[in-house]
Amino acid sequence: MRKRVVVTGLGTINPIGLNTESFWESLVSAKSGVDFITRFDTGKFDTKFAAEVKNFDPSLYLDKKAIRRLDLFSQYAIASSDQAVKDAGISSGTIDPDRTGIVYGSGIGGVETMQEQHFTYFETKDPSRISPFFITMMIADIAAGHISIRYGFKGPNYSTTSACATSSHAIADAFMIIQRGGADVMLCGGSEACVTQMAIGGFNAMRALSVDNENYKTASKPFDLNRNGFVMGEGSGTIILEDLEHALARGAKIYAEIKGIGLTADAYHMTQPHPDGDGAVRSMRLSVRDAGIKENEVDYINAHGTSTPFNDVTETKAIKSVFGDYAYKLNVSSIKSMTGHLLGAAGAIEAIATILAVKNDIIPPTINYVTPDPQCDLNYTPNKAVKKTVRNAISNTFGFGGHNASLLFSKFVN
């Protein structure tokens, strides 16, 4: 018998919310977090806009010394983890630290630290100027380590890295650890802070980002005919997963149940999805089968929906392959239209949006949807949130390298 796993805590720092409540309010009110980049001079860059986190105050979570020694992605991770732990009502008396673990990912890690230290060395040609904290600020696993030390969680502890699917894999791993009895409680999610010169320049070089600087506010337009690339976002999302019996025993509030996961590979191309959406088809089918439900019991799909020409067509094909005619009765939406693409943190904040859709029976919209694409002909919940009973919902994330993850969340019924 596999253990049932439920969601008991949520936390997030992202371009449209500095906590779960403000994030959800922004989603439902169709708020965009996209604006011109403020972190650096974009004069020579093809893309001059992104979805930055605004008004984040790390001193609410960290002292001055810690702030200096942590890359921004780790600061985001700790902040959203603090929120989630408090939201779940976890304290030393409510959990066994030996049976509480962490799987926390980042697609890139401390890219800002890497960039700054790289500049320092090449400006001075003096290796002694490299910070002694360079490595521990940069490596992608360090957020999981910091969270473990902060709370004394001594169970499984590691990081996942699978590009845009990173934090969905973290959630899936945490789910499986609890299912097999390896832990009672798992903190999971992901963090990214890539609004930097090297990241924006690198994604520009591969022609992945939108360059619609004149219409930057509406540049992230998943499934729209005129989409022309994704918009960089940043932030973190943290989810507390818990063995159902453990959660009930301590009187925890329960947002939803995670019932199924589907993890696959395209085995096709470094950056392009399989043209028929093969990996996405299999990951969604696996998540439905793992949950023990039927396709027509799924009410909502939180799409990967990157606003790129390839992804949106292939994901649409994949949904139709899995759900057949029922695909047209589903609500689909991409919150990247509001948050931008958080890379390794995308799966976590999109899972939070999916969980809240299940909990609140509201579908967040795909904003900036103006011109239908004949190849993308599903109900993408255009521009306005929709009230609808959501029994089961899937959150999709697909990453460079052909990594696919589908997470299925359901209304909790004891």
Catalytic residue among 146, 246, 341, 403: 341
* Cα distance between residue 211 and residue 336, in whole Å: 16
Q: Encode burial over 83-103: b for 16+ CB neighbours within 10 A, e otherwise.
A: bbbebbebeeeebeeebbbbb
Nearest alpha-carbon partner for 380 in 232, 225, 263, 259: 225
Question: Is 304 annotated as catalytic?
Answer: yes
Catalytic residue among 169, 274, 304, 403: 304
Alpha helices in 126-242 (DSSP H): 134-138, 142-151, 166-179, 197-205
Alpha helices in 324-345 (DSSP H): 336-339
Question: Is 274 annotated as catalytic?
Answer: no
* Cα distance between residue 272 and residue 355, in whole Å: 28
**Crossing angle (nearest 10°) for helices 111-124 and 72-88:** 160
Length of the chain (residues): 414
Residue 364 structure tokens: 């967040």
Question: Is 194 annotated as catalytic?
Answer: no
- Beta-bridged to residue 262, according to DSSP, are 406
Catalytic residue among 164, 188, 194, 376: 164
Residues marked active site are found at 164, 304, 341
